[in-house]
Structures are given as C-alpha cells and as structure tokens.
A = this chain, B = another copy of it.
Amino acid sequence: MAQLALDGEGSLQRQLYRSLRAAILDGEPGPGRRLPATRVLAGDVGVSRNTVLQAYDQLLAEGYLTARGGSGTYVADTLPDERVAVGQLAGGGRGRDSAAPPRAPRLSLAAQRMLDVVPRGMSWNLRTVPLPYDFRYGAPAFGDLPLETWWRIMGRRARHLSARRLSYSKPGGAPELREALAAYLRRARGVVCSPEQVIVVHGTQQAIDLTIRMLVDPGDRVIVEDPHYPGIAFNAAAAGAELVGVPVDDDGLCVDRLDAAAPARLVCVTPSHQFPTGGVLPLARRLELLRFAEREDALILEDDYDSEFRFDGRPIESLQGLDQNGRVLYAGTASKLLFPSLRLGWLVVPAPLRRPFLHAQALADTGSATLEQLALADFIEDGHLERHVRRSRTRNGARRAALLEALATHFGERAIVSGTDAGLHVMLWLPELAAAHVPALCDEARARGVGVYEVTGFYRQPPKEAALLLGYATLIEKAIGDGVARLAEAYAAVAAR
C-alpha cells in the first residue's frame, strides 16, 4: 500500500478517511486487495487504532470496502461511484455494456510525458504532522505579515466592487495592479517596463507555464541551472523539451559552461538568489548570459522569487533591467512577499511578446480574481508592501543571524553554510557525511521534532556530499537555536552509525 499522508483538514478520522478513499480511487490498493490490519496502519500513520477503525467503518458503510468474516478488510470489487452512476441512469435498467471495467482514457503525449517525469506518488506539497522546529523552505514569514492591514484593504475594496468589477475582465490583469507593479518593480528591482508588459499570473508556476507554452516546441533545448526548482523541469519535460543542466557555483550559474549547452531556446535562471544554493550572479556573468541569449537567439526566464530579502552588500538589480534586446522574461511572486494562497504573481515580457502572452492567458484561464488584484494594487500604492518588506527584512535578518550562530555553535567546522546573502533559506553542507545518509538524518531530525529537507530532488546530478535545505522565515529565533541543537544531536546519531 502506498504511503498515506494526512492533509491536516478536520479530524484525524476524517483525514484518514479521505486519504484512504483517494488511494482506493487511484487504484492503490486495487479492487479486491486486502487493507492493512488496523493496528499496523495505526502505527504507520501515527494515529490511534480507534481512528483507523472509524475510517474503515465509514468506507465499509459507503461501499468502498468489504469485510470478509475474520479475514480482514478488502477494497470492494466495484466502487460505489460506479454503482451509483448505474443506479441513477434516467433511462433505467440499462446495465453495463460489459462486465469489464471501463477502458482507461487515452492521454495526450504531453500528459504521458508529464506522467513519465513527475515522480509516481508525487503529492505536491502535502502537509504532514506539524513539527515544533520545522525548517520548511518556501514559506514566507507569516508572523511578520501585516494581515490586519491586508484584510482591511480587501474589505474596503469588496464593499465598493462595482458590477463592472464583478464581471469578466481582459487578460493581463487589472490596470491598477499592472501600473502599481510596473512602478514597484522599477523602484525595488530595477525592472524596466511599461504596465502593458506586466501580466498578472497565479504565481511563478503559471509564469513558467505560459513561457514554455509560448516559446518551446517539443525537441527544443531548455537550459536549467543544476540544481533548480523542479516545477520548471517538470513543465519543460511535459512540453517535450530537451532539458540540459548547467552547473552552478557559489556565484550562481557557471556562464562559461553555457556554450557547451547550446543551442537552446530558453535559459531558466534565478540570478538574484540561485535556487536552492543561494549564489548571487555577479554583473560580469549577467552580461555574459545576456550576450549568450542574443548570440543564440534564445530567451531568458528570470525567476526572481525572493530577492527582496537581501541582507548583505549592495542590492543587485534584476537581469531584466540590464537587457537591451528584449531577451528577458521576468517572473515575480506575491507568495514570498505576502502569502502563497493568495495565488498572485507577475510576469514581465518583452514588448513584442505582450500580445501572444495575453492571448495565451485568455485561453488558459482568463486571469486572476479581481478583488485580490485591486487589493494588492492598493497595498503597493499605499506603501504597505515596501514598509512590510523593510520590516520583514530586518526580522528575517535576525532569524538568519540566529541560524548562522546556532550552526556555528553546534556544527562548527563540520558544516558549511551557503546562500546566506539573500532569501529565506540557506543550504547546509555536511562534508563529513555521505549523501546516502541524508534520509536517515532527516528521519532522526524528525524524531526530535525538527523538519529539515533533502536537496537531491532539485539536482540533475546530485552532489556526493550531504546537504540540507533550511528555511527559517516561519520560526522565532529561540526555536531556530533549539532546532539546530536538536539537529546536531540527530547528526551525531547518524554519524556514529
């Protein structure tokens, strides 16, 4: 039976019920297969046996499971959804055309490529049992958010939303937000664009998706940094692109390795804070990257996901601001500046791409909810965003200092920390530990209430040394210190094996 995970919504019994039902509908376990004994499953998932019994009972009552005397609990041969469909048939009485199960629908090549590349069982950011010291990366500093201000602005806009604003709007986004973003991005990130070049999207992933759809054909080569954010590689591979990884060092992408990867249609980079290793691409490399794109007739997707949080040194402006030849598409997100479930991001495209990208958005989903767009426009215009970034940068700087100090205290020479200049996470290299021991280290840490995360999934060529990703934005300094102390205990336990 596949690994079951709870989604954290409602009672444990309800969560387990949902998780089991989803697994059954996915055909794992398949029809007629036996379920684990309640005692076993309770131990595996970490809930009481009574919780499992209740979930099994509900699934039995609904016909997903059948009990066979004393021999256990089995998945039903016919799932209730199929039976109900027959029962509701308005024509009445017409049985299945045959006893065979329905043929599985034929998928497109894009869908097949997607299923090939996305790991089986991938659950997309599934939530697990909360940990007291969770160094989860990717989440912003929820505690720093001026949520009261945000909801007040949302409420004000909601009360004044006209019928016209309740209705459909053009793709690209609300004009107010596009203007506010163009001005903000120029101030904060040196992005040079008119509001018409700004396309409001649902987040970085949609920026990636639209870019690949509009620019990449099956067989085209796409260069990604190695390591990189996996959402980009999955998407490009599903589009049939040939992915080539170019290594990074402490300064980000090794631009001298680009020519060996040519020709390419698209180069996907995180120049302000390489994901996940954290390097900041120096100016000379930026210019070389732009020259490469111009020479190769390639485009560049700049993923600027968290560069507002920069702690040391002079802020480095966006690659887009250096681009004279319309080669750079710039993607940013509200997920790190505000919060991810807002589902707002922005893609700035070169002027000649404006029209195709607007059409593409119209055909993909026609755009984002108007209320949130108008609220974000107000939030930027009224200065709340930049005020929040300044305050949160200070507080994240304190968290980062606590993390670096704790790592120095508890790991000393055994650890090397990289990617500390910017962003909301660091990478922790453990050169005395082989990469193969990282899963055990994560397990030992988890047993001590500490969440740390592997990096191998981000690599095309995983490193031989052990490394962990540690996000720190959601923790207070005390928890950071205590968590690192416990992580050091876990490390000692694994190293001693």
Name A's B-contacting residues (CB within 8 A).
Answer: 7-10, 18, 21-22, 25-27, 79, 81-82, 84-86, 88-91, 94, 96-97, 102-111, 114-115, 118, 122-127, 138-139, 142, 145, 151, 154-155, 158-159, 161, 163-171, 174-176, 190, 192-197, 201-203, 205-206, 209, 213-217, 220, 231, 234-235, 238, 265, 283, 287, 294, 297, 299, 317, 321-327, 335, 339-344, 350-356, 358-360, 362-372, 474
Contact of A206 among B341, B344, B364 (CB under 8 A): B364
Contact of A123 among B103, B170, B190 (CB under 8 A): B170
Contact A142/B166 with A107-B214, A356-B111, A369-B343 known, Cβ cut-off 8 Å: yes
Query: In the bound complex, how far is the Cα of B88 from the Cα of A287, in angstroms?
Result: 13
Which 6 A/B pairs are nearest by Cβ-Cβ distance? A341-B370, A206-B365, A166-B339, A202-B365, A142-B163, A102-B326
Nearest CB on B from A455, distance (A) = 18
Contact A365/B363 with A107-B214, A169-B125, A326-B105 known, Cβ cut-off 8 Å: no
Contact of A356 among B114, B283, B340, B474 (CB under 8 A): B114
Would you call B155 and A323 a contact (CB within 8 A)?
no
Query: In the bound complex, how far is the Cα of B371 from the Cα of A418, in angstroms?
Result: 36
Q: Chain B contacts of A190 at CB under 8 A?
A: 88, 90
Query: In the bound complex, how far is the Cα of B111 from the Cα of A109, in angstroms?
Result: 18
Contact of A340 among B154, B167, B206, B474 (CB under 8 A): B167
Q: Chain B contacts of A18 at CB under 8 A?
A: 175, 195-196
Q: Chain B contacts of A96 at CB under 8 A?
A: 324-325
Q: 8 A-B residue contacts at CB 8 Å?
A: A21-B196, A96-B324, A105-B327, A108-B217, A138-B168, A167-B341, A168-B335, A203-B366
Query: In the bound complex, how far is the Cα of B202 from the Cα of A322, in angstroms?
Result: 35
Query: In the bound complex, how far is the Cα of B168 from the Cα of A474, in angstroms?
Result: 14
Query: In the bound complex, how far is the Cα of B196 from the Cα of A18, in angstroms?
Result: 9
Of A170, A231, A299, which is in contact with the most chain B CB atoms at under 10 Å from its CB? Answer: A170
Q: Chain B contacts of A265 at CB under 8 A?
A: 106
Would you call B354 and A217 a contact (CB within 8 A)?
no
Q: Chain B contacts of A108 at CB under 8 A?
A: 213-217, 220
Nearest CB on B from A423, distance (A) = 17
Query: In the bound complex, how far is the Cα of B32 from the Cα of A413, in angstroms?
Result: 65
Q: Which residue of B lies closest to A95 (CB)?
A: B324
Nearest CB on B from A199, distance (A) = 13
Nearest CB on B from A200, distance (A) = 11
Q: Chain B contacts of A369 at CB under 8 A?
A: 341-344, 368-369, 372
Would you call B194 and A89 a contact (CB within 8 A)?
no
Would you call B297 and A106 a contact (CB within 8 A)?
yes
Would you call B359 and A115 a contact (CB within 8 A)?
yes
Nearest CB on B from A297, distance (A) = 7
Q: Chain B contacts of A107 at CB under 8 A?
A: 214-215, 356
Nearest CB on B from A219, distance (A) = 11
Query: In the bound complex, how far is the Cα of B388 from the Cα of A358, in angstroms?
Result: 34
Contact A91/B287 with A176-B9, A368-B343 known, Cβ cut-off 8 Å: yes
Nearest CB on B from A442, distance (A) = 20
Would you call B297 and A168 a contact (CB within 8 A)?
no
Of A82, A90, A165, which is in contact with the most chain B CB atoms at under 10 Å from its CB? Answer: A90
Q: Which residue of B lies closest to A323 (CB)?
A: B85
Would you call B238 and A363 a contact (CB within 8 A)?
yes
Contact of A155 among B26, B104, B151, B283 (CB under 8 A): B151
